[in-house]
Structure 1
């Protein structure tokens, strides 16, 4: 298992960042794959994977839950598609990340209702490795906490929702077992809070267990919650747990294609009206209109502004982008070839943000 390092990159202006305290060197763009098996056939998935790697991406993110929206009939199909592709590739040149489910969601088709306990961690990794057709994965993330936390558009912590959960120290013991067995190289978090990151790092230090090397949370012009407590906690000066930013285009809203009430045929919100509803049934679209004006003023597309904003953030190690066709993917990747955000643009974006602060959290 050699340390992953790109031999040569198509995009010579790109950064390849070391992920936290690990030896993983990841491209500043990561290919998200949750559409594989729903919106994308296996042939299309392989074409997108080929395109991504050919463009210099060495980082691929998936999950045992995928594809999304979630159904028992399709669960695991994304990893199967990737596995059939991966066996034809030089495994040690790629960083493959997957995620194991936490508790609290109605997904009983996964091991009767997943937890981050010993049985679920052991069974979960075996399924991931089998579907991906690999002996190990580089980064295993807890998809969301085993304990109660507000998730996916919820923003207020409700103490009445608290429930028994697997202690974080125990979770780390089980994850450490996978590292010791050589099935996982490093572990990370997803949809986690500042308290959670702090506690995972504290337990790792206290008990000599695997330290988390990354956190995968939502981040975009419409959802900048990470900049509050998490940015401080995750700083290299403190825990050194960099962000892997998902939904940088807010489910496609920040491409501008849903402006003025439009819902294009075959778009995600047309196919799955309830999916990420927080981004198209709130003040979000009003904010998008304002960000679109900034983009036009400076001669760029809204997509370039949105992805350029993520590239501009020092706490992001890699931005996870998804696409359902090659044209979309290439256009999104090309945004990272240059720096888009000037001081003037940053100031104007922040002025909009002060008026529509995280608009996706409100009805």
Structure 2
């Protein structure tokens, strides 16, 4: 395993992070335990979850993923071996069963944090992230920003940071991050931190993969110059960037098969680009998943790549990708494909 540090901290993290959003939907608690055992043995010390998980969202299963993790911590005593990341859900546009009212108000976040700590059976969370903005913006598959003048939103970024500072002072969280965010907001958070002496964002958890490199347009430079690293999710595009959809493997358990609403990776250009990347991988004697993950690992604005798997063989392959280094010729071919078919699945 390779390691780095969480930006602006002394916390050592593996450059692969175990994602958990399938647990409670596609994976049982026992399977989650098996994944955590294997990942830790392989050197992965960074786990990511959210109060909303599992996905797809369901009021009957909401919180199950954190509960599984908490039960594993209790059973194994491994909490002190793990750097733990979780997220507070945003307002109800993408939270239809409305876990609570209040967005990112102090009371709402206090309730969210209390519930997460209880489920996780821990006293603190190392990285606490805002799962998505509490204002209309271009996230979750929207290419461009469209202003909604009728939507009343008052800039509450300072107040949000003040609440997070309160939780840090209590020892309940250590550091903070954003998720599904855009350049304007990241810089606003950094501005308030700088001039008001408030907690500084250390990561941005956004989608990033060979079919969606939109992070590079405005956020990659911020990551490098401001030392706020990308913590990428969906590195395999819900499994689209794996061999199974091309070489005839069973795809009945694949997320794209089970949940057709995740349609951005089924678009014509996404399929066309995927075939090009698959051909490139085979020319270089590797799987499409390995090529896709190795590309992300080598980006200088990425701190740790979130991998998620439903089956153990997938998890093993994903973790082993950390040992693969793509040479300049392969990277050049990747960029040529991207130039020909840019961001087909934002």
Fold agreement, TM-score > 0.5: yes
Q: Paired residue for 2:343?
A: 358
TM-score scaled to structure 2, two decimals? 0.96
Structure 2 Cα separation of the partners of residues 145 and 107 of structure 1:
12
1:220 Cα deviation after fit:
0.5
Deviations 1:54-113 (A, max 9, x none): 110000000000000001111000000000001222322210000001225152534444
Moved over 6 A (4+): 260-263
Structure 2 CA distance for aligned equivalents of residues 263 and 114 of structure 1: 43
1:342: which partner in 2?
327
Match of 1:252 in 2: 239
Question: What residue is the counterpart of 2:142 in the other structure?
Answer: 154
CA offsets, 1:109-133, max 9 Å, x none?
Answer: 3444450111111001000000000
Matches of 2:321 and 2:99, distance apart in 1: 40
301, 309, 320: which one pairs with 1:323?
Answer: 309
Name the CA distance, whole Å, in 1 between partners of 2:82 and 2:20.
15
- Distance (Å, rounded) in 2 between the aligned partners of 1:85 and 1:220: 30
8 A Cα contact 1:34 1:62, kept in partner: yes
Match of 1:311 in 2: 297
Residue in structure 1 matching 2:34, options 31, 47, 51: 47
* Cα deviations by residue, 1:304-344 (Å, 9 ceiling, x for unpaired): 110110111111100000011211101111111231x1111
- Structure 1 position 131 matched with structure 2 position 113: no
* Preserved CA contact (<8 Å) 1:108 1:114: no
Match of 1:295 in 2: 281
Residue 21 of structure 2 corresponds to: 34
Task: Output one character per residue of 1:170-197: Cα deviation in whole Å (capped at 9) or x when no partner.
Answer: 1100011000000001111111111111
Matched residue, 1:8 = none
Equivalent pairs, count: 344
Gaps of 5+ in 1: 1-13
| Contact 1:278–1:360 (CA under 8 A) maintained in structure 2 | yes
TM-score by length of 1: 0.91
How far 1:261 moved relative to its partner?
9.5
Residue in structure 2 matched with residue 121 of structure 1 by the alignment:
109
Q: CA deviation at 1:166?
A: 5.2
* Aligned-residue CA RMSD (Å): 1.6
Unaligned runs of 5+ in 2: none
Aligned partner of 1:267 in structure 2 is: 254
| Alpha carbons 1:76, 1:131 under 8 Å: kept | yes
The Cα of 1:15 is off from its aligned counterpart by: 2.2
Q: Does 2:87 correspond to 1:102?
A: no
> Do residues 140 (structure 1) and 128 (structure 2) align?
yes
